[in-house]
A and B are shown apart, each in its own frame.
Chain A
Amino acid sequence: MDFVTVTLKLLEGFLTTCEIFFLTLVSALPLGLLVVFGSMSKFKPLKIIVRGIVWIIRGTPLMLQVIIIYYVPGLVFNLPLLPRLIAVFFAFTINYACYFSEIYRSGIESISKGQYEAGQVLGMTKGQVFFRVIFMQVIKIIVPPMSNEIITLVKDTSLARVILVAEILKYAEEFTAYGLIWPLFYSGVFYLLFVGVLTLIFGKIEKKLSYYKV
């Protein structure tokens, strides 16, 4: 098999990889914010439940979560299964929302009480204090850990192949099974390039936010 055929095949898989990545990112970022409001809530039962969920999700392998979300409805309840890509999307979104929420929490907790009080005495509502005063500072604090987590997400997309989603690494492994080894290493180039672009973007964002210090 020649280079072009392999590249085209891998590109096809890489498209799925990108799809998983972007869908997860777009939905896990806001969902994580909801989760952090729950886990920092003053309403105790909600806080306990949400923190329990975060513990379970962070305490088990993502691969297992993907398998559970996809297979368990059929295995245990005899229900029709979700489409593979949807199952991956659910598992990844929930998993990453929990991880993001913990990063958000560390960011929010590192903002001094004085910032909230300054907003309060200036007659701002709680929402205004959060979104106009706190949020931008949190963003600046969490950009480095978030970029780390998002880069991990790029590589975690390869876990989708445990339920036979045809992402790039699954194609590469298939080549290997037929005796062609180099596509497996070649697939790494796609990840490298993708992460390279992300690193540049995060660098830009950090630079853009460097005009102030928290």
Chain B
Amino acid sequence: MAYLDIENFCKKFDNTEVLKGISFSIEKGEVVSIIGSSGSGKTTLLRCMNFLETPDEGKMTLDGERLLQCPQIKKEKESVLRSKRLNFGLVFQSFNLFPQYNVLNNVTLAPLLLLKTKIKELKKSLKEKKKTDKTVTSAYIKKTISEYKEEKKKEIDNDAKLLLEKTGLTDKTFNYPCQLSGGQQQRVAIARALALKPKILCFDEPTSALDPELTGEVLKVIRSLKNENRTMIIVTHEMGFAKNVSDKVIFMSDGVVVESGSPKEIFDNPKSEKLKSFLINLENKENI
């Protein structure tokens, strides 16, 4: 069985069918690019995987765990969805950094909030234990928790700084998003998504909102992540990048997967008419 398995995703908005039965699978460590013209359903697919939209039909399995099963998913509690979401990271086209926090806090905010929840649970379980075990005193609980908190906080802080180093933003640690260029902001967004250690990192057209001269630095970071064997799904318009970096390319059109295969198969030997005309159109555009 594959690492990620998506079966028959369908999604309708009002009366428009955006996804018409999408199925594909990904192996661990693979980088998959999803290409296709706008309106083909790429972004919706990504949003469904991240539980920002709920598909009308379909199944999703990750690492042997059934994450999504229609129609039960519609009845799931918000807290369950939240923990499921954490399997994925998502980098948006428009960065969506939190403007009131500096770069470091943008990266650490979510891990710290998760830590808070964890500490609450820990406290609860220790208090349960106190009822039966006399060696567990109030002072002991307090000490254990504060030690745990300190340790984890330090860990989160160190992780964040490492991630910023990796994305080349160490000198921007205490800057605010409004002081950064688009490329820098997107790199912060990548660091922020990685801070939660997702199993799969998704990119929704990560360079579309950037000036051409800034796309390079973002693509470079993504390439470096490939070298770490991260599993990634990238919705992109950068064909050259898709060709070079992906292990697998999926071509979508009108809500269906028209062709998928290695970059070589897709770009050098397209079979379907739709893919052929898509590639020719792109080429023409580049030549203008």
A residues with CB within 8 A of B: 112, 114-115, 117-126, 128, 132-133, 136-137, 140, 211-214
Instruction: Tell me the nearest residue of chain B to A122, going by C-beta.
Output: B110
Contact of B99 with A212 in the complex, beta carbons under 8 Å: yes
Q: Does B78 lie within 8 Å of A115, measured CB to CB? A: no
Find the B residue at minimum CB distance from A133.
Answer: B98
Contact of A123 among B83, B96, B98, B178 (CB under 8 A): B83
Would you call B50 an interface residue if the criterion is a C-beta within 8 Å of the partner chain's C-beta atoms? yes
What is the predominant secondary structure among interface residues of chain A facing chain B?
helix
Q: A121-B85, A123-B83, A125-B82 are in contact. Are A212 and B110 (CB under 8 A)?
A: no
Shortest CB-to-CB span from A136 to chain B, Å, is: 4
Q: Which residue of B lies closest to A214 (CB)?
A: B99
Is B92's CB within 8 Å of the partner chain A?
yes
Are A122 and B177 in contact, with the CB atoms below 8 A?
Answer: no
The interface residues of chain A lying within 8 Å CB-to-CB of B97 are 118
Q: Which residue in B78, B100, B178, B192 is a CB contact (below 8 Å) of A125? A: B78
When distances are taken between beta carbons in the complex, the residues of chain A under 8 Å from B176 are 211-212
When distances are taken between beta carbons in the complex, the residues of chain B under 8 Å from A213 are 99, 178
CA distance A211 to B99 in the complex (A): 9
Check if B245 is an interface residue, CB within 8 A of chain A: no
Q: How many residues of B contact A (CB 8 A)?
A: 28
| Docked-complex contact B100 and A140, CB < 8 angstroms | yes
Please tell me if the beta carbons of A120 and B99 are within 8 angstroms of each other in the complex.
no
B113 to chain A: which residues have CB within 8 Å?
A: 123-124, 128, 132
* 12 pairs, A vs B, C-beta closer than 8 Å: A112-B96, A114-B92, A114-B96, A121-B52, A123-B85, A123-B86, A123-B196, A124-B82, A125-B82, A128-B113, A133-B98, A212-B176
Closest residue of chain B to A117 (Cβ to Cβ) is: B52
B126 within 8 A of A: no
B110 touches A117 (CB 8 A): no
Residues 80-100 (chain B) with a chain A CB within 8 angstroms: 82-83, 85-86, 88-90, 92, 94, 96-100
| Contact partner, A122, options B83, B100, B192, Cβ 8 Å | B192
**Shortest beta-carbon distance from B47 to chain A in Å:** 8
Number of A-B contacts (CB under 8 A): 61
**Minimum CB–CB distance for A48 against chain B, Å:** 24
Q: Which of B148-195 contact A (CB under 8 A)?
A: 176-178, 192-193
- Bound-complex Cα distance A140 to B99 (A): 11
Q: How far is the CB of B99 from chain A (nearest CB, A)?
A: 5
Chain B residues closer than 8 Å to A118, beta-carbon distance: 92, 96-98
Complex contact B82–A123 (CB within 8 A): yes
A114-B92, A128-B113 known; A137+B100 contact, CB < 8 A = yes
Cα–Cα distance between A101 and B180 once the two chains are bound (Å): 34
Q: Across the interface, which residues of B come within 8 angstroms of A124, CB to CB?
A: 82, 110, 113
CB distance from B285 to the nearest CB of A (A): 27
Q: How far is the CB of A130 from chain B (nearest CB, A)?
A: 13
**A120 with B85: in contact, given A212-B177, A212-B178 (CB under 8 Å)?**
yes
Question: Are B100 and A212 neighbours in the complex by a CB distance under 8 Å?
Answer: yes
B46 to chain A, nearest CB (A): 10
Instruction: List residues of chain B with CB within 8 A of the CB of A140.
Output: 100
Chain B nearest CB, measured from A98 CB (Å): 27
B109 close to A (CB within 8 Å): yes
